[in-house]
């Protein structure tokens, strides 16, 4: 399942991959990680306060409806801010572009996931695993879903909050409709985020990646074999101008692998 | 409309009839008008071909379209759902169907906790511009003439519970008992939760469908529904039906209540206030 695209330049005894398990790859720049975690915090806040507003047993437990509403409102308004701010950085834009673009391999990946029958599905997934780039198609779909959901929740939420103040008036049916969409999509988001956390819970290295920005090269080669630096844009600095991550002590290995194809010995 | 600008050198423009495309429009999509550009496998940005189709963007746009459609037809969809769910909920011993955000009562409280009062310690204080101020216990209220109503409960946020059985003391009976002075124009209600207040004009308060409710849905008003004593103002939205009623004061002018200070109409007639057109109950 070796990717066929660019041949690994000096894949052999580079200083980094010498230790075989120690080579690392830069996966997420600082802006991308900041967007992830601030959005996660705001989303968690929205889901928690939303649950209190929506579910009677929780409402009975917490009370303080006015305060909970206020927190919900401001957390909701804050949701799109990190993404908008980070759009100024090239590293984040590069990741967004990678999430946005679906290749033929992504189509095959999604079709393999939807195959019926455990054996057939496992075989189909094994057959397409080599085509997975920096993000697999599931991650791309999830990212798009969350982005769309944030916009819809923002739109309906703003309608619910300020609709009655519109100069032209605000039809009641729209208010009910906006409530309906907001409530329904809240459940969708809850299950979406739950699925996201479930996937993350099963892959500690992926969690390390989004936490520190760096992953072992062997993991990148196993989970994202078609992720190449060339497809990912120019190598290194994720944050132009920003100082290097104080935590990335493996800078040399990082660079060594990043400038080539992250392909360690497998087996 | 942006100010007309001369076409950039590389742009063939049809003899000045229409304004040129914005210059930032990529050549690839300009060549393929309308949607067909989106269906291609390779999309050109800034003259550089990048890998793949922007499916992510399409998912986002599709969700926006679905959301807008949901806002437009959601009211009808919700009504249809309620018709399906109500019978299910009535026969659901698990209570799980209460988690569905459709129909049924929702619990709103503006404070962190509300004291639980019962026959031993509940008191309703009626005072202000009245001849015979009184402090009534649950037993006092229970000994007065009881009036029953079967009416819907409609919340200003949209939910409605149909055919709720209410009973208790007509507010007008209670007011007759204490003798409201001619100078009184309105009532201020205070909840024993310590925060919530409400108001009614005297004309509204003496309607025959305004109850100091002691029973609701085949039993005493439960704590979560505002018990042991709450108000039920049938023709108005739910926020007028103050829960955990602790005090009624006759005053000379209307003082807006808790939610009214926060934007809701003081005269909360169902279907004729708060920009809503719900059917009257």
pLDDT in tens, B170-182: 999 999 999 999 9
For the stretch B156-172, pLDDT in tens is 877 788 888 999 999 99
Q: How far apart are CA B185 and CA A5, in angstroms?
A: 84
The whole-chain average pLDDT of chain A stands at: 79
The residue-averaged pLDDT of B91-103 equals 62
pLDDT recorded at residue B90: 64
Q: How far apart are CA B145 and CA B170, in angstroms?
A: 8
Name, of A6-20, A245-259, B184-198, the range with top average pLDDT: B184-198
Return the residue matching tokens 């095959």: A108
Q: How far is B87 from chain A (nearest CA, A)?
A: 19
Residue A232 contacts residue A98 (beta carbons within 8 Å): yes
B74 closest CB neighbour out of A64, A151, A177: A177
Contact B111 A63 (CB under 8 A): yes
pLDDT recorded at residue B96: 65
Kindly list the residues from chain B whose CB atom is less than 8 angstroms away from the CB atom of residue A56.
98, 104-107, 224
Give the A window 224-243 contacts with B, CB below 8 Å: 231
Q: How many CB pairs under 8 A join A and B?
A: 145
Q: For the domain covering B124-262, report its CATH number.
A: 3.90.420.10
pLDDT at A244 over 60: no
A236-245, long-range: CB within 8 Å, 24+ apart, which pairs?
A: A236/A26, A237/A91, A238/A26, A238/A28, A238/A29, A238/A30, A238/A31, A238/A32, A238/A91, A238/A213, A239/A29, A239/A30, A239/A31, A239/A89, A239/A91, A240/A89, A240/A90, A242/A30, A245/A30, A245/A212, A245/A213, A245/A214
The residue-averaged pLDDT of A90-104 equals 92
Kindly list the residues from chain B whose CB atom is less than 8 angstroms away from the CB atom of residue A106.
52, 55
The whole-chain average pLDDT of chain B stands at: 78
pLDDT at A203 over 80: yes
pLDDT recorded at residue B91: 67
- Out of A259-263, B100-104, B131-135, B199-203, pick the least confident: A259-263
pLDDT recorded at residue B45: 39
All domains in chain A, ordered by first residue: 23-238 (1.20.950.20)
Q: What percent of chain B has pLDDT over 70?
A: 72
pLDDT recorded at residue B184: 94
- E strand or H helix at B161, and its extent? strand B160-170
Judged by a CB distance cut-off of 8 A, whether residue A77 touches chain B is no
> What distance lies between CA B22 and its chain's CA centroid?
45
Q: Is the ipTM of this complex over 0.90?
A: no
pLDDT recorded at residue B102: 58
Residue A155 contacts residue B67 (beta carbons within 8 Å): yes
Contact A184 B64 (CB under 8 A): no
pLDDT at B16 over 50: no
Name, of A56-70, A233-247, B138-152, the range with top average pLDDT: B138-152
pLDDT recorded at residue A21: 55
- The chain A residue lying nearest B271, using CA atoms, is A172
For the stretch B245-255, pLDDT in tens is 999 999 999 99
Name, of A246-250, B27-31, B110-114, the range with top average pLDDT: B110-114
pLDDT at A108 over 60: yes
Q: Write down the domain spans for chain B.
A: 55-99, 124-262
Phi-psi sector, B86: left (phi>0), alpha (psi -120 to 50), beta: alpha
Candidates B52, B191, B227: best to mutate against A (most CBs of A within 10 A) is B52
Kindly list the residues from chain B whose CB atom is less than 8 angstroms away from the CB atom of residue A54.
101, 106
Degrees (nearest 5) of the Cα angle B196, B201, B204? 105
- The chain A residue lying nearest B74, using CA atoms, is A177
pLDDT recorded at residue B50: 55
For the stretch A9-47, pLDDT in tens is 333 333 334 445 578 889 999 999 999 999 999 999 999
**Cα distances (Å, whole numbers) of residue B60 to A93, A147, A173, B55:** 16, 6, 25, 9
The residue-averaged pLDDT of B95-115 equals 64
């Amino acid at each position: 399942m070796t990717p066929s695209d660019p041949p690994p330049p000096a894949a052999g005894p580079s200083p980094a991959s010498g230790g075989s398990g120690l080579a690392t790859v830069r996966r997420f720049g600082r802006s991308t990680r900041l967007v992830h975690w601030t959005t996660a915090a705001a989303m968690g806040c929205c889901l928690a306060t939303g649950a209190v507003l929506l579910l009677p047993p929780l409402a009975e437990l917490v009370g303080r409806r006015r305060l909970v509403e206020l927190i919900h409102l401001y957390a909701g308004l804050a949701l799109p801010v990190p993404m908008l701010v980070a759009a100024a950085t090239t590293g984040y834009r590069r990741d967004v572009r990678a999430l946005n673009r679906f290749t033929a391999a992504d189509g095959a990946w999604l079709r393999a996931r939807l195959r019926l029958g455990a054996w057939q599905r496992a075989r189909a997934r094994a057959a397409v695993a080599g085509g997975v780039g920096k993000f697999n198609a599931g991650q791309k779909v999830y990212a798009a879903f969350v982005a769309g959901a944030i916009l819809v929740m923002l739109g309906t939420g703003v309608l619910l909050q300020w609709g009655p103040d519109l100069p032209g008036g605000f039809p009641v049916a729209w208010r009910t409709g906006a409530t309906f969409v907001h409530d329904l999509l809240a459940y969708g988001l809850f299950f979406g985020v739950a699925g996201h956390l479930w996937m993350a819970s099963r892959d500690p290295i992926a969690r390390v990646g989004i936490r520190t920005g760096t992953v072992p090269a062997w993991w990148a080669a196993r989970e994202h074999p078609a992720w190449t630096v060339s497809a990912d844009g120019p190598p290194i600095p994720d944050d132009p101008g920003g100082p290097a991550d104080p935590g990335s002590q493996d800078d040399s290995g990082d660079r060594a692998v990043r400038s080539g194809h992250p392909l360690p010995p497998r087996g | 409309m942006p100010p007309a600008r001369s076409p950039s050198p590389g742009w063939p423009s049809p003899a000045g009839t229409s304004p040129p495309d914005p210059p930032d429009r990529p050549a690839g999509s300009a060549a393929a008008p309308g949607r067909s550009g989106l269906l291609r496998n390779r999309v050109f940005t800034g003259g550089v071909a990048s890998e793949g189709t922007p499916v992510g963007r399409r998912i986002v746009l599709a969700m926006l379209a679905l959301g807008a459609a949901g806002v437009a037809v959601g009211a009808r969809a919700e009504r249809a759902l309620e018709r399906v769910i109500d019978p299910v909920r009535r026969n659901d011993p698990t209570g799980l169907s209460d988690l569905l955000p459709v129909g049924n009562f929702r619990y709103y409280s503006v404070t962190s906790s509300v004291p639980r009062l019962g026959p031993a310690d509940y008191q309703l204080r009626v005072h202000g511009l009245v001849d015979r101020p009184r402090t009534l216990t649950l037993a006092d209220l229970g000994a007065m003439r009881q009036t029953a109503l079967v009416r819907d409960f409609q919340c200003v946020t949209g939910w409605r519970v149909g055919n709720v059985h209410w009973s208790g003391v007509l507010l007008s009976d209670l007011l007759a008992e204490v003798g409201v002075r001619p100078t009184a124009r309105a009532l201020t209600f205070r909840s024993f939760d310590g925060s919530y207040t409400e108001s009614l004009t005297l004309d509204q308060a003496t309607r025959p469908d305004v109850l100091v409710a002691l029973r609701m849905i085949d039993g005493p008003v439960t704590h979560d529904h505002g018990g042991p004593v709450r108000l039920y103002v049938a023709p108005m939205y739910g926020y007028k039906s103050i829960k955990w009623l602790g005090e009624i004061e006759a005053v000379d002018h209307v003082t807006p209540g808790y939610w009214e200070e926060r934007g809701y109409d003081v005269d909360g007639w169902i279907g004729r206030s708060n920009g809503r057109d719900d059917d009257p109950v």
